[in-house]
Structure 1
């Protein structure tokens, strides 16, 4: 591979403009493909086969009007006063326009529902009064017959008895109606003070499959004719779509990365090269992925993940090759020879590092979760493009720039790279570093034990967003549970007549209403064949609360008195989020096991050691759980909430732990490769084991430090993204990179390898014989090109074996 890359680098340098034009053409083709065939992105996080999915399919098949998704249009007066009649009429007219939007099945006018409710209350009150009056008349008739001594078998007595039976039947129906009205008292469409109203939009498609175009149509229909004195906001079920995959925060991250490059490289030309290559690679990868959105259902986070990874690894991979090329130029090597050698050595390491990231991301498909596998595949494709750009476009641009990648003073004065005096760390210092670093990671990781998974709702959005305003108004005016109502399906016995169905629905509603954490319940539909009834259930707390999660689990194990053999079934947004989170949590151990096993195999192959792979893998696990612990502290507990804009802490994004495994594993192996391979080379070339650790660390720490800071800057830019799902991903990656690079790879690993001494590089002979020599750093390539080897390999000398410390 090193020799192939050497030739590829030489070819790209000789045909620089052809390579540049070819990549520009590929970028243009990807953009054109997206513009022509790209579809829309949404936030549909779906996993087929979950309990919520099964209920939704049943409702769609047997009761289509109850199986579609819903969203809320929240309207409130700007002055806090009740709606005027004129405002109510204008709002009703706007809602009529919403019904004409393609994909909207029905819009429930809040004022019409409020009027119907008031009419029902009056009707029930009138019915109760009439019933009481009828009973009073029967009682008076009974008294008259008793006074007249009319026999019990007289027709008058029989008429009285028949009248009482009719009144008893009416009493049962009236009591059922009163019960339903009482249980549904918490389900309102207009607030008690008359200043807020909620219009429910019913979609034709299932909740997780509503097209973005339909949602945008709803918003446009409402905003086309604003109502004076009334503000309209939309729930996250309507507004969750992509307004752009990058915002100001992401741009700031790239700017910080550019500053780091400028400080490290000392010239604008050199600093701009990794940024340029990364942007071209990201453009190709992300545009190509989004071109597939027309034929593949893709969530908004999928291309953003590709953008994150493409920027971060694209900058770093180009930097690694550039840094090697600059070191070689400083010794007087010619530009073409230096480009070819840098591509064959550092480029070889880049290919191997990128390969580990690609494998880890593609392995997300083993979870069996479609959207997660697609995210991993798109991320892997963007990383693969970044690798190709690094080993082809970077050499071409280096050829065009020539010596301008060096500061002006360094262009005419070759420098010597004779190694300075490096002393191994002390054993006591190594123990302190290892123990201190591990203790720090364990301490930060402890909050991960309290991890709760979920999906963001309106409370997670920026406080000035319409979805947050809608969520807040509903919570304040109608109760937090109205933001996450549940759909409960109860099976009914076969053969019930209308009266029996009414009684059965009332009985089930009473039973559901008696369950803790239920604020209100109302029957909303019955199957045409009477086989089941559908109820709207409002929890007492919000959709992501622990109480609502417990309520869903309790409902699913509850059987009704009318059909004790079948438990209740639950659907709705909170239920769907709970099911998806549980499925992802179940898949995480399998994926983590695959990645850990992969880590061991790759590290054994690269470093030809047993201890080094074990320490590398354990270090990755520690940094991963520490990153998750920090995510829990910030986004679930709300620590430092003002800094990170977490105004309403809640569950952690449910697919974050899984996606974090794949990405952090790949990046951790990058740093391990660029640091520890230098240690191994020093050891192979004759340095004592402990001295080799310090020499490798000293040689690689500058470029790894810069690479880690760049990745931290790029990922950190997404911490303040306009998309709620993206922010915790950006934070987890940024914090995880810092911990892995600075605590694990540059603190703990060198200390442990120092303490291990020669044992760090031990490998059983039988395993050494069967393992291929991958030569990641291209040492053999340097020996085949002695005129270009920089620095010259150290002559082999008898290794001085340091005495093993006695316990």
Structure 2
């Protein structure tokens, strides 16, 4: 009943979500855009219409059609203002270099959601073939619409792909169709519950539509992980001769406790995203915390009830005849026959060699990250076949990019003409600046080169404040572009300076993330260190775990640059458009999600090693037995969650594709290299020191920590 109610509440959650939220709402660049729109009725248009004529846009037929198109879009509800090539004055910057395309720049009312609704009306009423003109639509509102639609399409496709493939792998892992079905059921319940939570959150704050994709992938992946460990331990206890109730009790006391620790660890890792001001990153925290905790509740409350109902029928519908082999396996000497035990012992016989080799390999994989360049997503995050992508490419290639990417500078305060003239002349002398348009005319090379005209009045407000349009010869998303913003902000000015545009947005987003990144790292590291100390009573093991989890991310960061910045391996991961940079938010998001997943496996493995060490007091044997009894499960869980996360890699949105490829690689590297090789090598090198803690911490752990 609760699941049905959650399904009803969560239905349509995606319709209330946005695709923005990358920037700090209080950043100077955002303030500049807000003032430009509210005070000057200027700034970046939310929609851009490219109207292409068969010949010149100045031919009588094209002029008549363009004028009619301009009047039509002005009358669409939600359109606040229109600057058109076919307006009086025929601004040259709104005509393509070949003279066949004219632009209409639309400013819209309302927030992002309202703008997307207006964009839909504009496309319906003005797009396509119109009186001999071919009208294409782009701009932030239209691109957001297409991103939302593509994300929803990708989500459906990922679900259709992962569900049957995951079920097949679960059947191969468990052998029993009954046991294989329970993790999928747990995943569905946790996903539905999380959607209801996200739907409730949208009532009080903005949520990114991309969080839906993480909800599905992480919900299913964690549900499989947690169910896999609980069901495996339950079946192990049944094979040892325990009753159904006793087997459930032991499984809950051991694997269940580990599930709780793991869920809290994942939730804390993702909670670090809450320190960032943009709702894009915060949305992943909402989704991640909700899905981790709800999945734990399902695993610890719903799953035991299902196991009690299933009883010994948990092994029913044995599709591969594995039950007999597993019963035989359960009675063998784990220490002598297990392949994971043999691997662990082989590694621990040469710990220095394996440590150096794995660290060298991971360092090599991380090397491309040294050349990372940061940027912000543009239309190229969409598939090349999308209408918004094609229209944006037309805008980029057929118009003078210097005019279409001019940087606005707001002087927020009363500025007299003399001060404005001096300031504009100074800005025009900056490197790469070719022209500065103001209320007094246009400046270049420190001098007034064109007097004011009728169009100059738009640069001055009634309160005496002003803004300048700075035309430069640099790409906005580049080192030169961001350097220009910094130079402008460092100039002496007659009023408060607020710089807008893409370059300023990148600078502000990068600075905002950089300022808060230490706090996010502190939250993640401190929380996981405390949890692992409570689990193990050791000082060294939490430090090792944190270091190993960070190391497991190195391949992910290297792959982000090698594949998505530099454009390699497109035939392998699916076609996309390289931009020459990585989105500035991607490493932060990737770190928090991948760190949480890496620590997830760390908790399962350490819990079993600790259990064996408490029984035997032999560090080497505990590591070997712990790896033997969890190695197959961790590997299976890693493969399963890699399948689920890998489904993001088929997305048509480059950002989601990068997230899918990076997280899949992080999970596989962590399970097959870090946990299987590097971790046992390090634990062998440190020996019994792994379990050391000073007396005062030992006493705290004895009183407050958890014991097997």
2:368 equivalent in structure 1 = 447
Contact 1:108/1:199 (8 A) holds in 2: yes
Counterpart in 1 of 2:41?
Answer: 65
Whether 1:48 and 2:22 are equivalent positions in the alignment is no
Distance in 2 between the 1:85 and 1:399 partners?
81
Which of 432, 437, 456 is residue 358 of structure 2 equivalent to? 437
Matches within 5 A, 1:663-742: 663-686=593-616, 688-742=618-672
Q: Deviations over 1:84-140 (max 9, x none)?
A: 654554454344333234432112222336x534xxxxxxxxxxxxxxxxxxxxxxx
SS of match in other structure, 1:771? helix
SS in 1 for 2:87: helix
Report the Cα offset of residue 764 of structure 1.
2.3
Aligned partners of 2:113, 2:406: CA distance in 1, in Å? 18
Alpha-carbon distance in 1 for matches of 2:224, 2:283? 24
Q: Distance in 2 between matches of 1:443 and 1:737?
A: 18
- Cα distance 1:23–1:650, how it changes in 2: closer, same or farther (>3 A)? farther
The question of whether the paired residues in 1 share the 8 Å contact of 2:25 and 2:277 is answered with no
How far, CA to CA, are the matches of 1:412 and 1:259 in structure 2?
A: 20
Distance 1:363 1:333, change over 3 A: same
Structure 1 residues 434, 192: closer, same or farther in 2, change over 3 A?
A: same
Q: Does 1:754 align with 2:654?
A: no
- Residues 650-696 of structure 1 deviation map (CA, whole Å, 9 limit, x = unaligned): 33222222223332232222111111222222222116321221111
1:434-485 CA deviation, whole Å, 9 max, x = no partner?
1111112222223333333332001232111122212211121114445543
Q: Could you give the per-residue CA deviations for residues 414-450 of structure 1, whole angstroms, max 9, x where no partner exists?
A: 5443423155336553222211111122222233333
Kindly state the Cα deviation for residue 298 of structure 1 after the two structures are TM-superposed: 1.9
Match of 2:95 in 1: 190
Structure 2, gaps ≥5 residues long: 439-455
Using structure 2 for the length normalisation, give the TM-score: 0.86
Q: Distance in 2 between matches of 1:511 and 1:198?
A: 31
Which residue of structure 1 lines up, in the alignment, with residue 237 of structure 2?
Answer: 328
CA distance in 2, matches of 1:202, 1:721: 31
> Contact 1:34 / 1:288 at 8 angstroms: preserved in 2?
no
Maintained 8 Å contact 2:40/2:461 = no
- Picking from 466, 479, 500, the partner of 1:546 is 479
Q: Could you tell me whether the CA contact under 8 Å between 1:107 and 1:202 is conserved in 2?
A: yes
Aligned counterpart, 1:486: 407
Q: Secondary structure at the match of 2:106?
A: strand
1:134-179 Cα offsets, whole Å, 9 max, x none, are xxxxxxxxxxxxxxxxxxxxxxxxxxxxxxxxxxxxxxxxxxxxxx
Paired with 2:540 and 2:659, the residues of 1 have a C-alpha distance of: 31
For 1:557-636, list aligned pairs within 5 A. Answer: 557-559=490-492, 565-566=494-495, 568-636=497-565
Please state whether the residue corresponding to 1:65 is helix, strand or coil. Answer: coil
Shift of 1:322: 1.9
Q: Provide the rounded CA distance (Å) in 1 between the counterparts of 2:393 and 2:139.
A: 10
Distance in 1, Cα, partners of 2:275 & 2:425: 45
Q: Distance in 1 between matches of 2:551 and 2:516?
A: 20
Q: Deviations over 1:180-234 (max 9, x none)?
A: xxxxxxx62121322223221112357x786432333332332386555625131
- Of the three residues 337, 357, 363, the one matched with 2:266 is 357
Specify the alignment match of 1:555 in structure 2: 488
Instruction: Choose the corresponding residue for 1:303, options 191, 198, 212.
Output: 212
**Aligned pairs (5 A) from 1:755-794:** 755-772=685-702, 779=708
**TM-aligned CA deviation for residue 631 of structure 1:** 1.3
Q: Determine the C-alpha separation between the residues in 2 that align with 1:236 and 1:368.
A: 20
Unmatched tracts of structure 1, length 5 or more? 1-21, 118-186, 780-807
Rounded Cα–Cα distance in structure 1 between residues aligned with 2:305 and 2:76: 52
Conserved in 1, the CA contact under 8 Å of 2:40 and 2:460? Answer: no
Distance in 1 (CA, whole Å) between partners of 2:666 and 2:385 is 30
TM-score w.r.t. the length of structure 1 is 0.76
Counterpart of 1:382 in structure 2 is: 291
Q: For 1:49, what is the secondary structure of its paired residue?
A: coil
The superposition leaves residues 48-69 of structure 1 with CA deviations (integer Å, 9 ceiling, x where unpaired) of: 33221332344456x2412675
CA separation in 2, counterparts of 1:565 and 1:536? 17
For residue 379 of structure 1, report the CA deviation from its aligned partner.
1.8
Bigger Rg, which one = 1
Q: 2:79 aligns with which of 101, 104, 108?
A: 104
Matched, 1:393 2:302: yes
Provide the secondary structure at the position in 2 that maps to 1:197: strand
Partners of 2:414 and 2:305 in 1: CA distance: 76
Contact preservation (8 Å) 1:330, 1:411: no
Partner Cα distance (1:543, 1:253) in 2: 39
Residues 1:204 and 1:516: Cα distance change in structure 2 (over 3 Å): farther
Q: Structure 1 residue 749: deviation in Å? A: 0.8
Q: Secondary structure at the match of 2:346?
A: coil
How many angstroms apart in 2 are the aligned matches of 1:205 and 1:68? 15
What is the aligned-residue RMSD (CA, Å)?
3.2
In the TM superposition, 1:656-667 aligns within 5 A as 656-667=586-597
